[in-house]
Amino acid sequence: MATQVFSLPKTLKGDVKYSFCPGCDHGVAVRLVAEVLDELGIIDNTILSAAIGCSVTTYDFINVDALEAPHGRAVAEAVGIKRARPDKIVFTYQGDGDFASIGLAEGIHAALRGEKITAICINNTTYGMTGGQLGPTTLVGQVTTTSPTGRNLEYYGYPIKLAEHIALCDGTAFSARVSLDSVPNIKKAKQAIKKAFEVQMKGLGFGFVEILSTCPTNWKMSPDKAHARVRDEMMPVFKPGIYKDVTAE
């Protein structure tokens, strides 16, 4: 008798069809969040603060109550929801254009204040939805539509390393960077997302996970080459790991 070892999480809306491009790891990240909400049994008690970018459609797929925030303000909105309803679990699901660029101030200050929310940021080194422009996480030398000769260090400087910055904030309870380039790393990513929710449920502080993801369309790569790029080019710069975990100390 065969036993079922994989099924779609109940938190995902029935028969969901993603609007993401082929090979985009947003799909995996949304599924991992849904699986974690399933395992923690907090579906009915969770509110999503939705962001702008490719991540905007998350509320079409996850079966939780959601509010849409203006560009970059998802963390600020999540803080408002959490302060009004401290009994609820509140999380954001953002891209790097949302969290690392226009919303960086909200993110850092929420971490400094130790707001008891969870922020999940997808890092694909570009602005995906608007056509692959240079973003704050674009690697040095990376070709984008607004840096056709590659990111120039003299002119644009270095990419931001979010997980390390958030880990330096005293109010942060958990900060990690994970990658979705391979199945073992996908399993590690799920553990990190779960931890980021658990620190919020225990009231310990700000939970943050940066997820390295692909953007095959704007990188102009096939899905398998895009995952090889995550492994070979992104992971040496954005090193995966747990940068802060107060429960381990």
Partner 1 sequence: MSHIVINGDKCKACYLCIEECPKKLIKISKNTNSLGNHIVEFDDPKKECLGCAMCATRCPDLAITEVYKG
User: Would you tell me which residues interact with partner 1 (CB under 8 A)?
Assistant: 1-8, 12, 16-18, 20-28, 31, 183, 186-187, 216, 223-224, 227
Q: How far is the CB of 242 from partner 1 (least distance, A)?
A: 21
Residue closer to partner 1, measured from CB, 27 or 128: 27
Q: How far is the CB of 7 from partner 1 (least distance, A)?
A: 6
Contacts of 226 (CB under 8 A, 6+ apart): 23, 214, 215, 216, 219
Q: How far is the CB of 67 from partner 1 (least distance, A)?
A: 25
Residue closer to partner 1, measured from CB, 65 or 224: 224
Residue closer to partner 1, measured from CB, 25 or 106: 25
Q: Dihedral sign, CA of 93, 95, 99, 102? A: negative
CA pair distance 128, 146, nearest whole angstrom: 13
Contact 170, 110 (CB under 8 A): no
Contacts of 93 (CB under 8 A, 6+ apart): 29, 30, 33, 48, 50, 51, 55, 58, 74, 120, 122
Residue closer to partner 1, measured from CB, 7 or 149: 7
Q: How far is the CB of 216 from partner 1 (least distance, A)?
A: 8
Q: How far is the CB of 35 from partner 1 (least distance, A)?
A: 10
Residue closer to partner 1, measured from CB, 1 or 84: 1
Measured at the alpha carbon of residue 239, what is the angle toward residues 226 and 122, in degrees to the nearest 5?
Answer: 55
Q: At what angle do helices 183-201 and 26-40 cross, to 10 degrees?
A: 50
Contact 38, 45 (CB under 8 A): no
Q: How far is the CB of 220 from partner 1 (least distance, A)?
A: 15
Residue closer to partner 1, measured from CB, 56 or 215: 215
Phi, psi for residue 241 in degrees, rounded to 5: 160, 170
Q: In sequence order, what DSSP letters do the residues of 188-228 get, joined into one string? A: HHHHHHHHHHHHHHTT--EEEEEEE---HHHHT--HHHHHH
